[in-house]
Structure 1
Amino acid sequence: MGKAFFTYEQQLYKLQSEKELTISDPSYALKTLEKLSYYSLIGGYKDLFKHPASKKYLRGVTFEELVAFYKFDEELRTLFLKYILHVERHIKSMLSYHFCEKYGENQSAYLDINNYNLKHKNKNDIYRLVRALNDTISLPTHYAYIKHHINTYSNVPLWVAMNALTFGQVSKMYQYSTSDIRTKISTNFNNISEKQLHQLIRIIASCRNVCAHGERLYSFHVKENIPNMP
């Protein structure tokens, strides 16, 4: 059976009586749970403050300390996301430039699977990528600039479509671009090979998702191998 529903008052009682969390201002705690939710605040940050065996809070730990740590992680996500967006913009700019430099501005270029590194093991992933790209530039769309290019020019150049792509899609597009395009892009970053840049893009894309969706950043673990760089 899953977790039972508790009212805010029951949640506070449980924290105080069963988990032995110090709550000096119940009114403040109640309003905070209403804004942040029990799961986001307590479920997200309890492990640092609890005794592993008893599952109760360490003596003297306060509700305010949990809130302070939540806000620290929130500010950390905001800071990371700010600079991740700078990197994302740079990657998108370089990828659209060098892809169009080689294949031209027609949308048929980036919708052609033959313009990617079409090895047998990549084929299904490239088909999925191209379908996602096609969906991005198809009507109906909530992107006004894409609708404008479809209606006015019957063509959405990659540098226009790029803004609507997720960083995950950009990561896949870089991964399956031909080696010469990846190399040209990587030369914009000092002492980073095209393979290392791909690893970094994947890591940054994962971190971006954590930041954008309000997940815990302080305990985020990178599954990718971080490349050794000078």
Structure 2
Amino acid sequence: MAFNKYSYLLTTVCLLAGGVASQATAPEWGQCGGIGWSGPTACPSGWYCSVGNPYYSQCLQGTATTTPGGGGGTTTTTASGGSATLVPGWSFIRAVADPNFHKYLQSEVLSTASDAVLGSPSTAAQFQVTGGQLVQSVGGNKLYGVVESRADSTIMKLKLSWSTSPATSGTFNFSGDTLEWSNPAITRPQNNAWLVCPDAQGHGDVYVNLGPYAYQTPAGCADQTIHGYTGSTATA
């Protein structure tokens, strides 16, 4: 068969382009893997690619260490040091059902007043519910869970975020180990109904679900309940 220099050049360009894409670096907090993912798989210096589920891995702060597994020499990867040891009187808060099984409540920008997200166990925050406030411990300081105001009755989900000031409306409480939120001005079918909805960067933003649980779920979101957990460290 005759040599076709144009086909050769096109093939070479495609291979080089694929190599550049695979070597590109994902952004901080960006996606770095998962089934069907064709983007960058490397994270910036000081960050590591954490597997959230088979379809989504995310660049998180820290370093990953690989330790030998038992028997056949398999390995498991965990964040260096894992989560901080739980302080007595506080608890982790996590989802216990797919697609966010054992993802933990935290700040999108760690330990900072920002959106509330479910994320890696290695960066799990610690909480108390006291006086109707959801309190996150931040190095001796506190952040408070704040639910956005409802603009009108057509709004069926309200974003949870963290503030340096206590919430002025709505009440958090634990029913058993399940976190609830209520507001006398809003009627909800289920006070422990939450939604987790990915934002443009793939963070699992947490919302109060004002509609029925597991019915008419907003597109792209997942119905969740979230639960207190008092193990010594956050576990996957």
With normalisation by structure 1, the TM-score equals: 0.23
Q: Which has the bigger relative contact order, CA under 8 A and spacing at least 6?
A: 1
Which structure dedicates a bigger proportion of its chain to helix? 1
More strand by share: 2
